[in-house]
Amino acid sequence: LLIFNCHLRALFGNLQITHLVLTSESLDVLSTHAFVLGIPRLPPVFHPANPMNPYCDFTEDKLISCVQSLSVAPARFGKYEYSNLGFGLLGHIVSKRSQRSYSDLCHEIVFRPLGMMSSFTSYQEIPHDLSHRIAHGHRDRTQLTSQWDFDALAGCGSLLSTSNDLMKLMIAALD
């Protein structure tokens, strides 16, 4: 598996990072603690052009701008919460560090080795003969949502998979 023990400044050059945790932490810490570092759940300035597909226009430029202005979110009830921004940032950093796309990394490191042949990172990757197997998301019990597309924050939710493939991932994680 990939081991990333480098500082964020090494990846983003002269980027001025003022978020205390991001300044001092290396990627190995971010990868195991992305949900407890106090990184906000969503980017502080998050105004998607299409609220029904909110991550599609969140580009690397927006992510860098966001990282520059991050501040630690106060812990709710004494605990930090899961962060879409934290895991999206982690996925982007791993992709940037490896100089490969997030999708390529998922296929090369996770999907193929585990035999997860019905797993993808975007709807565009799904072969036509498998498209009927896609479950559609709902906003409530009756209203369908649109398919979400991801750019710089792919690490926070771009994976599409079947329950059988997710079982393979779970077994590997527990092994």
What CA–CA distance (Å, rounded) separates 131 from 113?
23
The rounded percent of the chain whose pLDDT value lies above 70 is 73
The phi and psi torsions of 7 (rounded to 5 degrees) equal -90, 150
Given this model, what pLDDT does residue 3 score?
A: 37
Distance CA 112, CA 120 (A): 11
What three-state secondary structure class fits 76? strand
pLDDT for position 72: 60
Q: Which amino acid is at 100?
A: R
- Residue showing tokens 């004494």: 78
> What does each C-alpha distance from 8 to 1, 27, 31, 37, 150 come to in angstroms?
20, 7, 12, 15, 22
DSSP letters spanning 159-173: -B--HHHHHHHHHHH
Euclidean distance between CA atoms 37 and 73, whole angstroms: 9
Q: Give me the pLDDT at residue 131, please.
A: 80
- Whether the per-residue pLDDT at 56 is higher than 90: the answer is yes
Question: What are the pLDDT digits (tens) for 122-146?
Answer: 988 999 888 887 777 777 788 888 8
Say if residue 63's pLDDT is above 70.
yes
User: Taking the model in full, what pTM does it have?
Assistant: 0.76
DSSP state of 131: G
